[in-house]
Amino acid sequence: MKTKILLFVFLFPAFILVNSCQEDEILSTSFSVVLTQDFIVHHTADSVFVKDTLLDASAQSGDIEKYKDRIEQVTLTRVSYLLTAFNGADDQELSQGNIVIADTGGANSMLLTTMSQVNLKSLWNNETDLTVNQAAVGLLGNLVKDAPHAFLVHAEGVMNKKPLDFTIRIRFHLTIKAGVL
């Protein structure tokens, strides 16, 4: 009789715990990742910059590399930017700027966000959120989810003054759901 009571006392909490967990929670994991891309802009004779680079998500995140074949969903929760270096006039502005994403070959490009009339000095070491195009959010999620887990980032801007001497950091904040088995 004591054995049955002890067995009940130990097994009942385990039974409750297993039944309270959703199957989805047992078979998958979620994690957050911030992918970062810096663009060094140094033009003395021009007030326009255009930069392209490939952002390899699996190279930036050990978790993406670990789960790359089992990623189920990628959600872009936030895009932000800031200047990590700035050597310009106090009133230097980004008159118009765009960030475009595309697959690694440059195809399927989509405008992620636009910026206008932004004082550069106000961005120096001041992370600022960007409003994003929701269709591009879906594209970016798929590009990170599927092999090769990378995407092209195209940044362009027109300034009100030259020379241009700054480093702009773009940060892609992601939540990723992946199967554990």
What's the whole-number mean pLDDT along residues 17-45?
80
Among 1.10.260, 2.60.120, 1.10.4160, 1.10.1790, name the CATH number for the domain at 29-179: 2.60.120
Domain chopping of the chain, boundaries: 29-179
Tens of pLDDT, residue by residue over 54-102, are 999 999 999 999 999 999 999 999 999 999 999 999 999 999 999 999 9
Strand-pair partners of 35: 172
> What band does 33 get if pLDDT is binned at 50, 70 and 90?
very high
Q: Pick from 87, 83, 96, 84: which is nearest to 49 by CA?
A: 96
Rg over alpha carbons for the chain, rounded to the nearest Å, is: 23
Tens of pLDDT, residue by residue over 13-26, are 544 444 444 555 57
Mean pLDDT of the chain: 90
Pair of tokens at residue 53: 């680079």
Residue 10: predicted pLDDT = 54
Q: pLDDT at residue 157 above 50? A: yes
Number of Cβ within 10 Å of residue 42's Cβ equals 12
pTM, entire model? 0.84
Residue 25: predicted pLDDT = 58
Q: Phi then psi for 161, rounded to 5 degrees?
A: -145, 155
